[in-house]
């Protein structure tokens, strides 16, 4: 499934890697041939994918064949003039070995954007500096199992990883880079980093103490990474904590959350070559979808799984948000038939019960992650960022964590009434079957505090249907009457303001636009991933390489006692020891 060939050298796993200037995967294909390399393991590096046919090693896409010239391994577009490298029959047992991945490391950039009135630039972090322009692209290696972010040095084949030096009593401190191997420590250490509040391929990084990685956009220490306490308000040098990663980090983040909450597609992952992929059903709402009596009953049972005496909250997720996600996913999953009648997607359906009790018992690790995010949701990415932007980002990250199998799109988030009216008007132009979630910030009954509320919006042929959430006091008749389609902006605003009794401060609208095609769905599942049935796969645990399900793969440990790789060749070329 992972199609890698690994070498274990000096406590470090290195994979056989094709030159990108030949394959064109990470660079322009400008060379006709070049030597193979040893590079750090990365499950998302196509240059490390291989296939073996007739005792010959090919690239996974079969475009290139491993050859050798002067006893060095290489690949070439045209193999004329090279010797094809063939494995002996004694290697058959190795070829047929079912091997787990050595680790789940992801090759990624760690970059930040600089924007002013006249320019936009992307800077890549390397060592303790930032670089831009041609030749500045620098890949790092993130191991999610131990949280280490490492940089590889070609000259001696070593890895150095970013280390936080901030103590509990400090407001901030510089990071440094220390020698690294693939040992998994028992506890989180100073080299541990965790992405959080991740939105697509952007987000924060926090160290093992919860300090946040930051850079300065101006001044003598421009572009130098350091850490700060979340509560530390630095106003010098325009600090920024928003980092850009490779898209594969988003893929992995969605897989990790999906595994915690049983929403992966397969068990076990089928690998790249599978007929399952082409026949997978695209689950989304059809234009003719309508709320039948069965659907009204189901939505009512979700909306009344709420206890008026016990306020439910995990992180920034209240009952209304949990209800919204549950309604959205059930309509998406069962769009072409009757609604489910079982225990519910996130929680047990039970009249006047707090849904967070069963949610926490069914998905404890997910609940803990959502709770941990509470201390960061209001943290600005950069100096001067307003609260509206922070709220918009946090809710988007929450949606990706709760329902990572869908493509979410932020329509808008505004506190301007004219813009809000345009947002609502725009919803009326969407085709039937479009599904949204709104989040409104409005005054409470006393008019002295601000409260937030979330509900799904369904576009039907008759108008917009706003589905009530957290409605324990509603009778079924009252609930059904609130499902009458709304056809004008004023009708929607009247509903959002609770019949004109609340002042609206801001409105955000998020849209489900389809299934999210995640290539890692085909590669990674953990043992005991049966989950809750079809489309509900997962182990409910944190992903670790030891538990990854594996298909027929390639596995081999080679150290210097088996194959004498000279130090001056280690990072550059590989002698043919296979």
Determine, yes or no, domain membership for 257: no
How far is CA 562 from its chain centroid? Answer: 39
SS (H, E, C) 65-128: EEEEECCEEEEECCCCCCEECECCHHHHHHHCCCCCCCCCCEEECEEEEEECCCCEEEEEEECC
Same domain for 308 and 221: no
Residues near 323 by Cβ (< 8 Å), separated by ≥ 6? 302, 303, 305, 306, 355, 469, 470
Please give the pLDDT value at position 1.
Answer: 53
Same domain for 353 and 307: yes
CATH number of the structural domain spanning residue 351: 3.90.70
Same domain for 474 and 339: yes
Beta bridge partners of 143: 148
Query: Closest Cα to residue 45, out of 8, 64, 18, 65?
Result: 18
Residue 14 reports pLDDT greater than 80: yes
Tell me the pLDDT tens digit for each residue of 142-199: 999 889 999 998 888 888 999 999 999 999 999 999 987 666 777 889 999 999 888 9
Q: Residue 478: how many CB atoms within 10 A of its CB?
A: 12
| Domain, as residue range, for 215 | 106-245
Q: What's the farthest any 2 CA atoms get from each other in the chain? A: 84
Return the DSSP state at 60.
T
Same domain for 67 and 90: yes
Please give the pLDDT value at position 43.
Answer: 87
Determine, yes or no, domain membership for 254: no
Residue 569 reports pLDDT greater than 50: no
What's the whole-number mean pLDDT along residues 19-38? Answer: 88
Q: Residue 52: how many CB atoms within 10 A of its CB?
A: 17
Please give the pLDDT value at position 100.
Answer: 66
Tell me the pLDDT tens digit for each residue of 94-106: 777 766 667 788 9
Same domain for 395 and 302: yes
Same domain for 66 and 10: yes
Determine, yes or no, domain membership for 357: yes
Same domain for 443 and 318: yes
Please give the pLDDT value at position 135.
Answer: 74
Determine, yes or no, domain membership for 530: no
Q: How far apart are CA 52 and CA 155, in angstroms?
A: 30
What's the whole-number mean pLDDT along residues 416-442? Answer: 96
Q: How far apart are CA 1 and CA 313, in angstroms?
A: 40
- Contact between 140 and 133 under an 8 Å Cβ cutoff? The reply is no
Tell me the pLDDT tens digit for each residue of 316-346: 778 999 999 999 999 998 888 899 887 899 9
Determine, yes or no, domain membership for 326: yes
Tell me the pLDDT tens digit for each residue of 108-125: 999 999 988 788 899 999
Same domain for 239 and 286: no
- Contact between 44 and 83 under an 8 Å Cβ cutoff? The reply is no
Tell me the pLDDT tens digit for each residue of 128-143: 999 997 778 889 999 9
Same domain for 196 and 170: yes
275 confidence band (pLDDT: 50, 70, 90): very low
Determine, yes or no, domain membership for 149: yes
Question: Which range scores top for mean pLDDT: 6-20, 253-267, 392-406?
Answer: 392-406
Q: What three-state secondary structure class fits 573?
A: coil
Same domain for 482 and 335: yes
Please give the pLDDT value at position 557.
Answer: 35
Residue 560 reports pLDDT greater than 80: no
- Say which range, 5-14, 424-433, 462-471, has the weakest mean pLDDT: 5-14
Question: Which range scores top for mean pLDDT: 362-376, 534-548, 552-566?
Answer: 362-376
Q: Virtual CA dihedral for 528, 400, 382, 419, nearest 10 degrees?
A: -170
Residue 281 reports pLDDT greater than 60: no
**In total, how many domains does the chain have?**
3
Return the DSSP state at 468.
P
Determine, yes or no, domain membership for 253: no
What's the whole-number mean pLDDT along residues 495-509? Answer: 95
pTM, whole model, 2 decimals?
A: 0.86
What's the whole-number mean pLDDT along residues 213-222? Answer: 92
Residue 467 reports pLDDT greater than 90: yes
Please give the pLDDT value at position 99.
Answer: 66
What's the whole-number mean pLDDT along residues 56-61? Answer: 85
Write down the H helix ranges in 218-318. 247-260, 275-278, 293-303
Same domain for 97 and 115: no
Please give the pLDDT value at position 376.
Answer: 76
Percent of the chain with pLDDT over 70: 88
Q: How far apart are CA 405 and CA 329, in angstroms?
A: 10
What's the whole-number mean pLDDT along residues 87-92? Answer: 80
Please give the pLDDT value at position 131.
Answer: 93
CATH number of the structural domain spanning residue 202: 2.80.10
Residue 438 reports pLDDT greater than 60: yes
Query: Closest Cα to residue 146, out of 110, 179, 194?
Result: 194
Name the average pLDDT for the chain.
84
Same domain for 191 and 79: no
Determine, yes or no, domain membership for 57: yes
Residue 546 reports pLDDT greater than 70: no
Burial class (CB in 10 A: 0-12, 13-18, 19+), 272: middle
Query: Closest Cα to residue 433, out of 454, 409, 460, 453?
Result: 460
CB crowding 106-122: b at 16 or more within 10 Å, else e: bbbbbbbebeeeeeeee
- Contact between 516 and 254 under an 8 Å Cβ cutoff? The reply is yes
């Amino acid at each position: 499934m992972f199609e890698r060939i690994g070498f274990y050298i000096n406590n470090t796993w290195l994979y056989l890697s094709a030159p990108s200037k030949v394959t064109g995967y990470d660079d322009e294909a400008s060379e006709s041939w070049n030597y193979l390399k040893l590079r750090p393991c990365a499950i998302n590096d196509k240059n490390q994918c291989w296939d073996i046919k007739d005792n010959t090693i090919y690239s996974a896409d079969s475009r290139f064949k491993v050859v050798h010239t002067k006893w060095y391994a290489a690949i070439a577009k045209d193999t004329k003039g090279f010797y094809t490298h063939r494995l002996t029959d004694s290697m058959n047992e190795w070829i047929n070995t079912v091997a787990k991945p050595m680790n789940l490391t992801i090759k990624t950039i760690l970059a930040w954007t600089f924007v002013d009135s006249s320019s936009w630039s992307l800077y890549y972090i390397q060592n303790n500096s930032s670089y831009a322009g041609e030749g500045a692209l620098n890949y790092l290696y993130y191991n999610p199992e131990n949280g280490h972010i490492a940089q590889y040095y070609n000259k001696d084949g070593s890895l150095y990883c970013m280390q936080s030096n901030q103590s509990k009593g400090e407001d901030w401190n510089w990071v440094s880079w220390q020698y690294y191997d693939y040992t998994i420590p028992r506890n989180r250490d100073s080299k541990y980093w965790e992405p959080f509040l991740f939105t697509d391929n952007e987000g924060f990084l926090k160290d093992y103490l919860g300090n946040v990685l930051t850079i300065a956009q101006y001044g003598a220490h421009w572009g130098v990474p350091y850490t700060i306490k979340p509560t530390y308000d630095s106003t010098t040098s325009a600090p920024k904590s928003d980092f850009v990663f490779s898209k594969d980090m988003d893929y992995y983040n969605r897989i990790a959350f999906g595994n915690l909450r049983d929403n992966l597609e397969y068990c076990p992952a089928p690998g790249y070559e599978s007929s399952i992929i082409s026949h997978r059903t695209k689950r989304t709402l059809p234009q003719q979808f309508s709320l039948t009596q069965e659907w009204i009953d189901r939505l009512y049972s979700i909306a009344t799984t709420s206890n008026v005496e016990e306020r439910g909250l995990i992180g920034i997720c209240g009952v209304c948000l949990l209800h919204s996600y549950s309604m959205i996913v059930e309509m998406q999953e069962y769009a072409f038939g009757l609604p489910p009648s079982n225990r519910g997607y996130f929680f047990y359906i039970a009249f006047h019960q707090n849904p967070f009790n069963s949610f926490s018992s069914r998905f404890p690790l997910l609940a803990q992650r959502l709770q941990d995010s509470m201390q960061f949701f209001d943290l600005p990415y950069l100096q001067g960022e307003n609260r509206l932007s922070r709220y918009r980002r946090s809710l988007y990250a929450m949606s990706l964590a709760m329902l990572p199998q869908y493509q979410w799109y932020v329509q808008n988030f505004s506190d301007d009434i004219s813009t809000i009216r345009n947002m609502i008007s725009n919803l009326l132009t969407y085709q039937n079957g479009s599904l949204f979630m709104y989040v409104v910030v409005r005054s409470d009954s006393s008019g002295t505090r601000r409260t937030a509320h979330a509900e799904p919006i369904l576009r039907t042929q008759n108008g917009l249907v706003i589905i009530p959430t957290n409605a324990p006091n509603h009778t079924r008749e009252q609930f059904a009457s609130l499902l009458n389609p709304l056809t004008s902006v004023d009708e929607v605003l009247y509903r959002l303001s609770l019949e004109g009794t609340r002042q609206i401060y801001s409105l955000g609208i998020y849209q489900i636009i389809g299934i999210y095609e995640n290539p890692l769905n085909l590669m990674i599942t953990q043992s005991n991933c049966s989950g809750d049935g079809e489309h509900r796969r997962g182990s409910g645990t944190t992903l670790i390489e030891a538990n990854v399900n594996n298909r027929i793969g390639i596995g081999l440990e080679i150290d210097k006692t088996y194959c004498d790789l000279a130090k001056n060749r280690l990072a550059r070329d590989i002698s043919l020891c296979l």
